[in-house]
Each structure stands twice: as structure tokens, then as C-alpha cells.
């Protein structure tokens, strides 16, 4: 009987061991083996793995790195292994959580099949030092999260796809190939590393940022630009030059005649408009009514209307600042343009204004801010003087006793709040992207704090809905300096803490933003939306950490992704320090930016390393 029980125990334990031996899905394991078969390996390496009878995570296949819990494959790094086959993304992309693929320095041939677009989570893609050929597939630009794309030292040819749609791309290396045609318009403002030397590109360099020198473009005889010996001068042909000049001058004459006619029409309309403005721009009695119609001309008015108008006239009361979006902007146009209420908060309302010509704008309306017109003007001008790529500039402003209007460019990619808690439009907001957003925002705030320290102007209302994304998905802080600092208790109304002192020292004023940024960090880490001022989220996180259940704090999407728990915990400690109840104990934004930048650099190094 004892022997029977012993055998049963052995069988049960064996069953448990066998059932837990595989952590990755069996279909994924088969796909990986099929992928390796196409690479034609000639391996005698002990413990090579890559067979259907073992698991890539628990059996530690050569070149495979899994997440921290050994549940799913995150990296495949097969470098300098003398692989001589072809690349099969159809099989590889069945590994749905794959982030890094490197096949550097092998002898692989063939093309990159269009199925590469199935690797939706791929962030790092390295193929340098092989013998790949043919055109790059257009589907390569459909990778929504790719950051590093390195295809140098191959035999690729043809024209490059339009990478301007790839908003996450930071590195593009394609030197020493056989590419032809013109360079597409990459997001050069976003790129950190770029090289297309030694190909056969022609035409002008579309990079207008000046961030990359001639070494990034040399070896393309048909390429021209400021950083190259070949300047982009148009060579005029002598033949037919007289005819062309005649046509050009004739065009000028016709254009001049049309301009005279248009000016006459505009003058007539302006006279009529001046008569209409006497009724159309009359002061309202604090009304927040929607669109209204003028009985004479039935023009649609904005959903925002002025409660007072200066004697100097409406046009002179709006100040247009240095942003290019303000060129030709008139206050009358704003007042008459159709407007859509998109947000309403404690300190004002936000409207999207659709201009008849030009890009849409956003108008921030603030009522009952007890700040003088001169002080408000000085504040806006000082903020306008300070430029940072991650700060959304003010286009124009208007100030009266009852209300203030701020004009910004409309950012169609929405806010950090929407990206975290709403639709992500297929873009995966992974750990690396969240860390990058945190670093960029911290750097921008630290810069503004340094520049505005003497003027005592913090942001005052930092939150995820005030962090917007530009067309290239770079974050930008909006509504800087739009909260009053005259009231001694203003910062407590925004970010309550136990220290209700009335000390308006420079340090304490700017520590208001540090608290708000700490709440944003907690939002990034937990994936939980913030209610009111974030105090509830801060209390919940502190209670979970106090009970030593820190792992329960993090967003489940980050856990599934296999994000570095050690770096998430370190960022969590930064957030907790920022939200310390005592303002004196909070770090400065300079200190916060330095800590997060260090984490970001470590993350980048880990993503490019073949080590687990």
C-alpha cells in the first residue's frame, strides 16, 4: 500500500513538473521553431534549444529573453551566429509580445516580407551586416511602436517608404545599401540618430532642423543640401528662357489685376462689416450662451462671448504673440468663428474654434481671475519669451476685468489623460513610452522653473489632461502659468497637503508643480484615472505600499508587457517623494528630471542589450 502511494506521489509530482514546464503558448513555440528553421542554423552549441519539446523561457533558448516572470518571449537576439537562410516574419510575429529583434552580422538573404507589420509591439528592429536585398515594404511604416530601425550594410534597393507616418521612430540607420530616389520627409525633429550615407539618393535633403551633419548623408552623389558640397541650385536652361520669362511676367500682370479686384471687394465688405460690428460685438451680460444669429447678417457667433470690451476697440485688445500660428489672426474672426465646448473646469472653459482659413485653434476662457491687466500682460509676455519644445506656446491673449482668453494651436492627438484612459488608436502605450513622456515633461517643467524663478510663475494646474501630444506624438505641457498665485492658499486648493502654511517663498510656490507632476507619475504607473486633485490616488498608493503589496500598484498592462519591475519601483519612489505632504521634503523639478532621465537611459540600454 505504501509503495502504491509512493508511486502515486511520484506520478503526481511528475505531472505537475511537466504541466508547468511550458510557460509560453504551444502555438508560439511551434512558430518560433518554424522561424528558426528558415534561418538555416548550423549549430553545435550546447543547450541550443529552439525545439518543440522545450520551452523558450524555462529552457533558456539561445538568444531568447523572456519577461521577469518567464511567461512570454520579449526579445530575440541572434547575432554573429552565421545564419544563412531567410527572414520569416509570418511565424515570428505570432510572438505577440515581442519587443526586440536583432539578426545583426549573419549571412541572411532575401527580402523583408510585408508581414513584418504583424509585429505590432516591436520597438527595436536590427538587421545590419547581412545580405538582404530588394525594396523595403511599405508595411514597415505601419509598425506603431518601432523606435530603432537599423538596416545598414545590406543590399537593399529602391525608394524608401514614407516614414513620416512612423511617429515613434527615434533611430534610422540605412547606410551602405543601394537605395535610390528622394529621401522621404522623416520626423527629423524627433529623430535622435540618422544615417543614410553611401547609397544612391538624389534631390534635396528634406531635413530642415540642422540636427544631422554631412556624415549622415555623404556618399550620395545626387544628394544636395546645406551640409553637403552639392548645393541645391536650380540650373536654368538657356533654351526657351525668354518664353518662360515672358509667361512669368504675364502671370504677374494678371495676378496684380486680380489683387486689385479682390482689394476692392474686401474694402466694400469691410465697410459693411464695420456697420455690423456695432451690434455684433456689443457687450454681453455674462452670458455663456451657444451660437447666436445676428438678425441682419445671420453670422454664426462663437460659444464664448466677451463680458466687457475696452474703449480702445476689440481688435486692439487682443495681443498676438510670436507663435507662427498667430499670423493674420484677428479677434473679430475668433468671435465669429463656430466654436465647440470641449472641456469645462474649475478655473475656466475650453473651446475648439474652427477658422474659415487656417488650422483649428483652442480658446481657454478664464473668468474672475483677480489679476490686473498689466500684470497679466507681463506674465504672458514673459512666458512667451521662454521657448521649450515640450511646452505649448500661447498664440494670443485677451484680458478684461471679467475674463481672460488664451489662444493655442489645437493638438489633434489629444491628451495624456485620453491616451491612458480612452482610445489609443492602435498605439500601444508601453513602459518605454510612458517613461519617455515622464522624462520630457519633467525636463520641460524644470526648464520653466529655472527661467521663471525670479518671476514666481509656476504652472499651477499640472495634470494629465494638460499634457498634450503634438503631431509627432511628442508631449507638450499646455496652460502654463494660468493659475493665480496671489492667494496664499491657492496651492492648497489645487494640491492639498497637511502643511497649510501661508509662506509664499519661491521654493514652496514651485513645489506645487512637483506635487502635480507626482500625481501624473502615479497615473502613468497605475493606469488609474485621477479624481479631483489626485489626493485619493496618492492615499491608495501609499496604503498599498505600506502593506508591502507594491506589485499591486502597477498597471496590469505593464505587468503583462514584462516591464522592468525594478525601474517601475524606482519611478514609484520618485512619485511618492513628489507627493510628500510636506512641501519642504519634496525634491525640485531639476532633481526629478535628472532621476527620470537616468531611468530612461537605463531602459534604452536594456532594450538594445542581448542580456536578460
Distances in Å between the Cα of 218 and the Cα atoms of 136, 177, 213, 228 are 21, 13, 9, 7
> For residue 250, what pLDDT is reported?
61
- DSSP annotation of 300 reads B
Tens-place pLDDT, residues 286-343: 333 333 333 333 334 445 554 434 334 444 467 887 776 666 677 777 777 777 888 8
Distance from CA of residue 337 to its chain's centroid? Answer: 29
> For residue 423, what pLDDT is reported?
59
Sheet order of strands, 133-134 included: 133-134, 155-158, 178-181, 200-204, 222-224
> For residue 44, what pLDDT is reported?
62
Beta strands in 354-395 (DSSP E): 361-367
Domains and CATH numbers, the chain: 24-224 (3.80.10.10), 314-409 (3.30.200.20), 416-608 (1.10.510.10)
Residues 6 or more apart in contact with residue 223 via CB below 8 angstroms: 183, 201, 202, 203, 204, 205, 217, 230
- Distance separating alpha carbons of residues 384 and 143, to the nearest angstrom: 37
Distances in Å between the Cα of 473 and the Cα atoms of 171, 374, 412, 434, 525 are 15, 36, 10, 12, 19
Per DSSP, the three-state class of 589 is helix
Q: Which helix (H) or strand (E) holds 73?
A: strand 73-77
Is 519:531 a contact under the CB 8 Å cutoff?
no
- Concatenate the DSSP letters of all residues of 79-139 into one string: -SS---SB--HHHHTTSTT--EEE--SS--BS---GGGGG-TT--EEE--SS--EEPPPGG
What angle in degrees, to the nearest 10, is found between the helix axes of 589-608 and 431-451?
A: 150
- Segment-wise mean pLDDT, segments of 10 residues, the chain, 612 residues: 45 40 76 92 80 89 85 89 92 90 93 92 92 94 88 95 82 94 84 90 81 87 86 54 58 67 73 46 33 35 45 56 69 75 79 80 83 86 89 87 85 89 68 92 94 89 91 88 55 40 60 95 92 86 85 85 87 95 92 93 74 38
- This prediction has a pTM of 0.59
Find, among 417, 306, 445, 409, the residue nearest to 367 by Cα: 306
Distances in Å between the Cα of 374 and the Cα atoms of 155, 352, 365, 404 are 64, 27, 18, 13
- Distance separating alpha carbons of residues 245 and 251, to the nearest angstrom: 10
End-to-end Cα distance, the chain: 48
- Distance separating alpha carbons of residues 353 and 337, to the nearest angstrom: 6
Residues 6 or more apart in contact with residue 451 via CB below 8 angstroms: 386
Q: φ, ψ for residue 161 (rounded to 5)?
A: -65, 170
Q: Which residue do the cell numbers 525601474 mark?
A: 567
Amino acid at each position: 500500500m505504501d509503495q502504491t502511494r509512493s508511486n502515486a506521489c511520484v506520478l503526481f509530482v511528475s505531472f505537475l513538473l511537466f504541466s508547468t514546464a511550458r510557460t509560453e503558448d504551444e502555438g508560439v513555440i511551434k512558430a518560433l521553431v518554424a522561424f528558426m528553421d528558415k534561418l538555416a542554423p548550423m549549430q553545435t552549441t550546447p543547450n541550443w534549444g529552439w525545439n518543440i519539446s522545450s520551452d523558450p523561457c524555462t529552457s533558456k533558448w539561445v538568444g531568447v529573453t523572456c519577461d521577469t516572470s518567464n511567461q512570454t518571449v520579449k526579445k530575440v537576439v541572434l547575432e554573429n551566429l552565421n545564419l544563412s537562410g531567410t527572414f520569416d516574419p509570418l511565424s515570428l510575429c505570432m510572438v505577440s509580445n515581442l519587443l526586440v529583434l536583432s539578426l545583426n552580422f549573419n549571412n541572411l538573404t532575401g527580402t523583408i516580407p510585408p508581414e513584418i507589420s504583424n509585429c505590432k509591439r516591436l520597438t527595436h528592429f536590427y538587421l545590419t551586416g547581412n545580405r538582404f536585398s530588394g525594396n523595403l515594404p511599405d508595411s514597415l511604416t505601419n509598425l506603431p511602436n518601432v523606435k530603432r530601425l537599423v538596416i545598414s550594410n545590406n543590399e537593399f534597393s529602391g525608394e524608401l517608404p514614407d516614414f513620416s507616418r512612423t511617429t515613434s521612430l527615434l533611430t534610422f540607420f540605412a547606410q551602405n545599401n543601394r537605395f535610390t530616389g528622394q529621401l522621404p520627409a522623416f520626423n527629423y525633429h524627433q529623430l535622435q540618430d540618422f544615417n543614410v550615407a553611401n547609397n544612391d539618393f538624389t534631390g534635396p535633403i528634406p531635413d530642415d532642423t540642422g540636427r544631422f551633419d554631412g556624415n549622415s548623408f555623404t556618399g550620395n552623389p545626387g544628394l544636395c543640401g546645406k551640409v553637403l558640397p552639392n548645393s541645391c541650385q536650380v540650373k536654368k536652361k538657356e533654351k526657351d528662357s525668354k518664353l518662360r520669362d515672358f509667361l512669368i511676367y504675364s502671370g504677374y500682370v494678371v495676378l496684380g489685376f486680380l489683387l486689385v479686384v479682390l482689394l476692392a471687394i474686401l474694402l466694400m465688405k469691410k465697410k459693411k462689416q464695420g456697420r455690423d460690428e456695432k451690434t455684433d460685438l456689443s457687450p454681453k451680460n455674462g452670458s455663456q450662451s451657444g451660437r447666436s444669429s445676428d438678425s441682419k447678417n445671420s453670422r454664426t457667433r462663437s460659444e464664448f462671448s466677451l463680458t466687457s470690451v475696452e474703449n480702445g476697440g476689440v481688435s486692439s485688445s487682443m495681443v498676438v504673440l510670436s507663435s507662427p500660428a498667430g499670423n493674420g489672426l484677428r479677434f473679430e474672426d475668433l468671435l465669429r468663428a463656430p466654436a465647440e465646448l470641449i472641456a469645462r473646469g474649475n478655473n475656466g472653459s475650453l473651446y475648439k474654434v474652427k477658422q474659415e482659413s487656417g488650422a483649428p485653434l483652442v480658446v481657454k476662457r478664464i473668468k474672475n481671475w483677480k489679476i490686473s491687466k498689466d500684470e497679466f500682460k507681463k506674465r504672458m509676455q514673459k512666458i512667451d519669451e521662454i521657448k521649450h519644445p515640450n511646452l505649448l506656446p500661447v498664440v494670443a491673449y485677451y484680458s478684461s476685468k471679467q475674463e481672460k482668453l488664451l489662444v493655442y494651436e489645437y493638438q489633434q492627438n489629444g491628451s495624456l489623460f485620453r491616451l491612458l484612459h480612452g482610445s489609443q488608436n492602435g498605439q500601444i502605450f508601453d513602459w518605454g513610452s510612458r517613461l519617455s513622456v515622464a522624462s520630457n515633461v519633467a525636463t520641460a517643467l524644470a526648464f520653466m522653473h529655472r527661467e521663471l524663478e525670479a518671476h514666481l510663475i509656476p504652472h499651477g494646474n499640472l495634470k494629465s489632461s494638460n499634457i498634450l501630444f503634438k503631431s509627432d506624438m511628442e508631449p507638450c505641457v499646455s496652460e502654463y502659468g494660468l493659475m493665480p498665485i496671489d492667494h496664499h492658499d491657492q496651492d492648497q486648493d489645487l494640491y492639498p497637503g497637511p502643511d497649510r502654511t501661508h509662506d509664499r517663498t519661491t521654493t514652496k510656490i514651485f513645489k506645487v508643480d512637483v506635487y502635480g507632476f507626482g500625481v501624473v507619475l502615479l497615473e502613468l504607473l497605475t493606469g488609474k484615472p485621477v479624481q479631483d486633485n489626485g489626493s485619493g490616488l496618492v492615499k491608495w498608493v501609499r496604503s498599498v505600499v505600506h502593506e508591502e503589496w507594491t506589485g499591486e500598484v502597477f498597471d496590469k498592462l505593464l505587468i503583462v508587457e514584462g516591464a522592468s519591475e525594478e525601474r517601475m519601483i524606482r519611478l514609484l519612489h520618485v512619485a511618492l517623494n513628489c507627493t510628500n505632504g510636506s512641501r519642504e521634503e519634496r525634491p525640485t523639478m531639476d532633481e526629478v528630471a535628472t532621476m527620470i532621465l537616468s531611468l530612461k537611459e537605463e531602459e534604452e540600454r536594456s532594450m538594445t542589450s542581448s542580456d536578460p
